[in-house]
C-alpha cells in the first residue's frame, strides 16, 4: 500500500460532452412550454445529448483518457477508479470495473457511487481520504451520465432539464493542500423528492414496459437547494479556514441558473469570483456537472491553473457534498 501523505490534489481534468445540441425549440415540441419560460425559470438555452456512436461508456472512457493525459499519469499508476453515475443501466457489474479494464489499468479498486448529482463530489471526498489515509496514491474520479435516456419527453417538470456528458479528474498526493475538507450529508426526510419514476420490478410486471425516467418535485428541490446549500457552502469555507474573498471560482452543481444565483447572493460572493454557468448550454448533467462546468471555464478563459474554487453538488437523496480545491 502507498505510504500516507499529508495532502491530496487535483492533477488533471478531462471531459466529454454529448455531441448533439438540442435547443429548447426541440424540447417544447412535446410539452406545453416555451423557450422564454425555460430560459427564465432555469437559465437553460440548449442542452447536449449523445450523438451517433456515443454511449455512457464512450463518454466516461474519453473523459478519463483526457484526464490521465492532462495529469501526465499512466493508467497503470491508478490505484482506484471511482465512477459516480445514476444512469448506468446494468445493476452489476459496476461501470468503474469495465472502465478500469478499458483504460488498461492493473487491477485497481473499482466501484460505482450512487449519490446522484452529488456523486462526483462524494467520490472526490473519498479519493482525498484514500490518498491521505494511504490506501491509494492515484485515484481516477469520474462523473458520467446519459440522462437523455432517462428523461420523459412529455414530463413538463423535467423534459427540458437534463443533458449528457462525462467529466473526470485524476487525484494524487501533494505536499500542500489541494483539496480541502469535504462537507457532506443527506436529508432522508426528502428521499423521494427526486426519484426514478418506476421500480424495475413494476416495469417488468407491466404489460407495456417503458423505460423509467427521473421525476422530481421541482419547487421542493429548488427551495432546499437555494437555502440549505448556501449554508453548506459557508460551512465548507469555514472548515477550510477561508472566506469568500479568498476564492477565485465558484463551481456549483448546474441544476438551475436561479439556484446558482441564489447561492451566490446568500454567501455574499464578491464580484471578483467567477461563477460557473455551464448549464445554459449543457443542461443539468447530474454527477458530471461540476467537472464539465470547470472545463467550460478553462475553455472560456475564466479559470486558470492554481485558482481556488468552491465546488458544491446536491441532488437526489437528498444528498450533498462540497469542498474547496485548487484547480489543476
Ligand atoms: N413550461 C411552462 N410552464 C411550466 C413548466 C414548463 N415546462 N413547468 C411548470 N410550469 C408552470 C407550472 O404549471 C406553474 O404554473 P402556475 O403558476 O400557473 O401553477 C408555474 O410554471 C411554476 O411552476 P413551478 O414548478 O413552481 O416552477 P419553478 O419556478 O419551481 O421552476 C423548475 C421549475 C423545475 C425549473 C425548478 O423547480 C427547478 O429547477 N428545480 C430544481 C431542479 C433540479 O435541477 N433538480 C435536479 C437535481 S438537483
What digits encode the pLDDT tens for the residues 175-194? 999 999 999 999 999 999 99
- Is the distance from CB of 163 to CB of 143 less than 8 angstroms? no
Q: What percent of the chain has pLDDT over 70?
A: 99
What digits encode the pLDDT tens for the residues 125-179? 999 999 999 999 999 999 999 999 999 999 999 999 999 999 999 999 999 999 9
CB-ligand 1 contact for 256 (6 Å cutoff): yes
Q: Quote the ligand 1 centre to 41 CA distance (angstroms).
A: 7
Q: What is the mean pLDDT of residues 14-31?
A: 97
What pLDDT score was predicted for residue 2?
Answer: 66
Q: What is the mean pLDDT of the chain?
A: 97
> Does domain 183-326 fall into CATH 3.40.47.10?
yes
Closest alpha carbon to 267 in 303, 314, 238, 231: 231
Burial-class residue 58 by CB neighbours within 10 Å (0-12, 13-18, 19+).
middle
pTM, whole model, 2 decimals? 0.96
CB-ligand 1 contact for 147 (6 Å cutoff): no
Residue 301 backbone class (left: φ over 0; alpha: ψ -120 to 50; beta: rest): left
Q: What is the mean pLDDT of residues 46-66?
A: 98
Q: For 7-174, which CATH class?
A: alpha beta
Q: Would the pLDDT of 3 be above 90? A: no
How many residues belong to the chain? 328
Between CA 27 and CA 184 the distance in angstroms is 34
Q: Quote the ligand 1 centre to 202 CA distance (angstroms).
A: 27
What digits encode the pLDDT tens for the residues 274-316? 999 999 999 999 999 999 999 999 999 999 999 999 999 999 9
What pLDDT score was predicted for residue 62?
Answer: 98
CB-ligand 1 contact for 221 (6 Å cutoff): yes
Q: How far is CA 70 from CA 10, 13, 75, 189, 295, in A?
A: 11, 6, 12, 41, 12
243's grid cell: 472566506
Asked whether this chain's domains 7-174 and 183-326 adopt the same fold, the reply is yes
Going by alpha carbons, the residue nearest to atom 1 of ligand 1 is 33
What pLDDT score was predicted for residue 198?
Answer: 96
CB-ligand 1 contact for 157 (6 Å cutoff): yes
pLDDT band at 4 (very low <50, low <70, confident <90, very high): confident
- Is the distance from CB of 126 to CB of 28 less than 8 angstroms? no
For this structure, is 256 an active site residue? no
Hey, where are the domains in the chain?
Answer: 7-174, 183-326
Residue of 117, 122, 138, 256 with catalytic role: 117
Longest dimension (CA), the chain: 59
pLDDT band at 6 (very low <50, low <70, confident <90, very high): confident
What pLDDT score was predicted for residue 1?
Answer: 63
Q: Quote the ligand 1 centre to 258 CA distance (angstroms).
A: 12
What digits encode the pLDDT tens for the residues 214-249? 999 999 999 999 999 999 999 999 999 999 999 999
Amino acid at each position: 500500500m502507498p505510504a500516507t501523505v499529508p495532502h491530496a490534489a487535483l492533477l488533471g481534468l478531462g471531459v466529454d460532452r454529448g455531441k448533439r445540441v438540442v435547443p429548447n425549440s426541440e424540447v417544447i415540441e412535446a410539452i406545453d412550454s416555451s423557450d422564454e419560460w425555460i430560459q427564465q425559470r432555469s437559465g437553460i438555452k440548449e442542452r447536449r445529448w449523445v450523438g451517433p456512436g456515443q454511449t455512457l461508456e464512450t463518454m466516461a472512457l474519453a473523459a478519463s483518457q483526457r484526464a490521465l493525459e492532462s495529469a501526465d499519469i499512466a493508467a497503470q499508476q491508478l490505484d482506484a477508479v471511482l465512477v459516480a453515475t445514476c444512469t448506468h443501466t446494468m445493476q452489476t457489474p459496476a461501470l468503474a470495473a469495465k472502465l478500469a479494464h478499458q483504460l488498461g489499468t492493473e487491477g485497481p479498486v473499482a466501484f460505482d457511487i450512487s449519490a446522484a448529482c452529488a456523486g462526483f463530489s462524494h467520490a472526490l471526498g473519498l479519493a482525498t481520504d484514500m490518498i491521505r489515509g494511504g490506501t491509494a496514491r492515484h485515484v481516477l474520479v469520474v462523473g458520467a451520465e446519459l440522462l437523455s435516456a432517462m428523461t420523459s419527453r412529455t414530463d413538463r417538470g423535467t423534459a427540458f432539464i437534463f443533458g449528457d456528458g462525462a467529466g473526470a479528474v485524476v487525484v494524487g498526493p501533494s505536499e500542500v493542500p489541494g483539496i480541502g475538507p469535504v462537507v457532506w450529508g443527506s436529508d432522508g426526510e426528502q428521499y423521494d423528492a427526486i426519484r426514478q419514476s418506476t421500480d424495475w420490478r413494476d416495469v417488468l410486471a407491466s404489460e407495456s414496459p417503458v423505460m423509467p425516467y427521473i421525476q422530481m418535485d421541482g419547487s421542493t428541490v429548488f427551495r432546499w437547494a437555494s437555502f440549505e446549500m448556501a449554508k453548506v457552502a459557508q460551512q465548507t469555507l469555514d472548515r477550510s479556514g477561508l472566506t469568500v474573498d479568498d476564492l477565485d471560482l465558484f463551481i456549483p452543481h448546474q441544476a438551475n441558473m436561479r439556484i446558482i444565483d441564489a447561492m451566490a447572493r446568500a454567501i455574499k460572493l464578491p464580484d471578483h469570483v467567477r461563477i460557473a454557468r455551464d448549464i445554459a448550454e449543457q443542461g443539468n448533467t447530474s454527477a458530471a456537472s461540476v467537472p464539465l462546468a470547470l472545463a467550460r471555464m478553462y475553455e472560456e478563459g475564466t479559470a486558470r491553473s492554481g485558482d481556488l474554487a468552491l465546488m458544491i453538488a446536491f441532488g437526489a437523496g437528498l444528498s450533498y457534498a462540497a469542498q474547496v480545491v485548487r484547480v489543476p
